[in-house]
């Protein structure tokens, strides 16, 4: 049923005459028509017109390309060879890494706030392996990356940390330093041993990215939930509790996996207003730029221009919660270690139990930490989300291919380097500690696996 709101939206897109907006918003959202399909139709239509105007078009095009080969062929070959070399050395380097999956087992009496996890994550802000151009371009060295995971098997929840084996001491040290009561045990990789059968099971893969604003705007972190003040257990409101509660309420045939892959953020950009060779940290520069925009919104007019509609902003300094809290959150996160972060998840179930409650839950599982009104939210974007209309996927061919590709990507923990390079966001340790931390006793999800008691520390004077 088309409502008046839909009609107004359609007319608005048509009046603006913005090609991208019409295709993505009108064609994509309303009819499931992709940009690729529209561009393909336009290409073949224009090619047909050109073919009619130029007799023997294929030979004409071939002759033109052959005659210009001395110009374009060396450039194409050099660029292609360079990309293939980088792909080869990086893939070889990653393939040689021995990996380990550590399960984080937690007792019932964890009382630390996520601030402890924030401090722990700063130990992984490392750039080992890419110090010189020989490391990067000849040996194929890449930045170490780590995966923080939460998996529920039929309602039984487990926390994991995946890393290269030579980085295991660092991971264990960071966890034991701030959570000495936890146990870290090497376990078999649940994703690698799992075999998906499309004839018996259904799956919904997705990823999450910042929307509707850029990476300068964070989500609601544990500071907004006042967990940084270490309140009593009965007064704690942990945003992770809703996530774990939903993952606990799964049937035996259902599974939910969440993966958060992080690596040091070294992104740079050209410094705005500086010389052409000057660069700056993209994370820091982006936040400063957005903070300046927010401040200018309250003082954008010339004080002498009293006829301007918002001239009052130049002399009336009224405290506004939105500006105050947003700037405060952005500048607080600017002072913390930034990571490049990729987030993905999947809901798997037997075909008879697969339905909207399951895949809707995994899509919007991070809604408790969202603030789409004036900051950001973690919105589902890639993988299974585009297939809304029957004509987009005949006989589930594309869907099953997407699931196979997603599982391969998940097993490899691949996000920043080949074979799977995906879009990512920049997040601070504060944001990461909010969405992955050992839950305290205030989280009472029944499926959360906890050890019955914590281990005591050995006497310091034991003989070695």
pLDDT tens column, 157-172: 999 999 999 999 999 9
Task: List the structure tokens of 325.
Answer: 């809290």
Name the least confident of 198-207, 256-265, 454-463: 454-463
Nearest alpha carbon to residue 412 among 216, 73, 147: 147
Q: How far apart are CA 256 and CA 359, in angstroms?
A: 9
CA dist 363 to 356, 360, 386, 388, 397, Å? 10, 5, 12, 14, 22
Alpha-carbon gap, residue 265 to 251, rounded angstroms:
39
* pLDDT average, residue stretch 180-205: 92
Mapping DSSP to helix (H, G, I), strand (E, B) and coil, where does residue 57 land? helix
- C-alpha 290/C-alpha 288 separation (Å) is 6
For residue 402, the tally of other CB atoms under 10 A from its CB is: 21
Residue 18 has pLDDT above 70, yes or no: no
More confident residue, 355 or 11: 355
For residues 152 and 158, give the distance between their C-alpha atoms in angstroms, rounded to a whole number. Answer: 6
Work out the end-to-end distance of the chain between its first and last CA atoms, rounded to an integer number of angstroms. 76
The domains of the chain, with CATH numbers, are 4-70 (no CATH), 98-267+331-435 (3.40.462), 268-325 (no CATH)
299-355: per-residue pLDDT in tens?
655 555 555 566 655 555 556 788 888 999 999 999 999 999 999 999 999 989 898
Mean pLDDT of 24-44: 70
Query: How crowded is the C-beta side of 448, counted as CA atoms within 13 Å?
Result: 23
Three-class SS state of 171: helix
Cβ atoms within 10 Å, residue 34 = 15
Q: Is the pLDDT of residue 94 over 90?
A: yes
Judged against a pLDDT cut of 60, whether residue 453 lies above it is answered with no
Q: What is the pLDDT of residues 426-450, one digit of tens each?
A: 999 999 999 999 988 777 777 777 7
Residues 6+ apart with CB under 8 A from 208: 343, 344, 345, 366, 378, 379, 380, 381
Closest residue by Cα to residue 172 from 187, 157, 189, 184: 184
Q: Comparing C-alpha atoms, which of 108, 172, 156 is closest to residue 451?
A: 108
User: Among 24-28, 141-145, 236-240, whose mean pLDDT is lowest?
Assistant: 24-28
Please report how the helices 282-296 and 321-334 are oriented relative to each other, as an axis angle in degrees rounded to 10. 160
* CA dist list (Å): 123 to 166, 397, 432, 464: 15, 43, 13, 28
pLDDT for res 435? 95
Max mean pLDDT range (135-139, 262-266, 389-393, 447-451): 262-266
Q: Could you report the per-residue pLDDT of 55-77, keeping only the tens digit for each?
A: 888 888 888 889 999 999 999 99
pLDDT of residue 189: 95
**pTM for this structure?**
0.85
* Measured distance CA(143)–CA(136) in Å, rounded: 9
């Amino acid at each position: 049923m088309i409502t008046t709101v839909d009609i107004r939206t359609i007319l608005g897109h048509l009046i603006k005459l913005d090609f991208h907006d019409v295709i993505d918003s009108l064609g994509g959202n309303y009819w499931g028509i992709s940009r690729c399909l529209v561009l393909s139709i336009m290409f073949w239509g224009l090619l047909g017109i050109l073919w009619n105007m130029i007799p023997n078009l294929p030979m004409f095009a071939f002759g033109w390309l052959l005659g210009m080969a001395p110009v374009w062929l060396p450039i194409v070959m050099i660029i292609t060879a360079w990309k293939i070399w980088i792909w080869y050395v990086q893939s070889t380097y990653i393939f040689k890494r021995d990996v380990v999956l550590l399960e984080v087992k937690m007792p019932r009496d964890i009382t630390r706030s996520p601030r402890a996890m924030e401090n722990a994550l700063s130990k992984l802000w490392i750039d080992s392996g890419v110090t010189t151009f020989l490391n990067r371009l000849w040996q194929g060295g890449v930045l170490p990356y780590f995966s923080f995971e939460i998996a529920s098997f039929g309602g039984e929840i487990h926390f994991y940390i995946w890393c290269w084996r030579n980085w295991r001491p660092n991971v264990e040290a960071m966890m034991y330093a701030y959570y000495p009561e936890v146990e870290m045990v090497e376990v078999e990789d649940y994703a690698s041993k799992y075999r998906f059968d499309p004839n018996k099971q259904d799956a919904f893969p997705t990823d999450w990215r910042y929307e509707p604003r850029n990476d300068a705007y964070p989500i609601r972190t544990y500071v907004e939930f006042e967990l940084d003040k270490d309140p009593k257990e009965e007064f704690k409101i942990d945003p992770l509790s809703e996530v774990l509660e939903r993952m606990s309420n799964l049937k035996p045939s259902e599974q939910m996996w969440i993966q958060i892959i992080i690596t040091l953020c070294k992104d740079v950009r050209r410094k705005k207003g500086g010389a052409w060779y000057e660069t700056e940290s993209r994370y820091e520069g982006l936040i400063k730029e957005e903070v300046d925009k927010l401040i200018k919104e309250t003082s954008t007019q010339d004080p002498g221009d009293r006829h301007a509609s918002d001239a009052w902003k130049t002399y009336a300094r009224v405290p506004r919660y939105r500006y105050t809290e947003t700037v405060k959150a952005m500048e607080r996160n600017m002072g913390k270690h930034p990571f490049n972060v990729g987030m993905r998840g999947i809901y798997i179930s037997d075909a008879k139990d697969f339905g909207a409650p399951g895949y809707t839950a995994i899509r919007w599982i991070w809604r408790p930490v969202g603030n789409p009104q004036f900051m950001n939210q973690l919105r589902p974007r890639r993988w299974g989300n585009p297939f809304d209309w029957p004509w987009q996927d005949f006989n589930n061919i594309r869907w099953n291919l997407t699931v196979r590709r997603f599982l391969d990507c998940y097993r490899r923990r691949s996000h920043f380097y080949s074979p799977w390079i995906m879009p990512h966001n920049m997040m601070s340790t504060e944001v990461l500690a909010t969405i992955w931390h050992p839950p305290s006793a205030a989280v009472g999800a029944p499926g959360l696996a906890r050890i019955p008691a914590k281990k005591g520390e050995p006497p310091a004077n034991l003989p070695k």
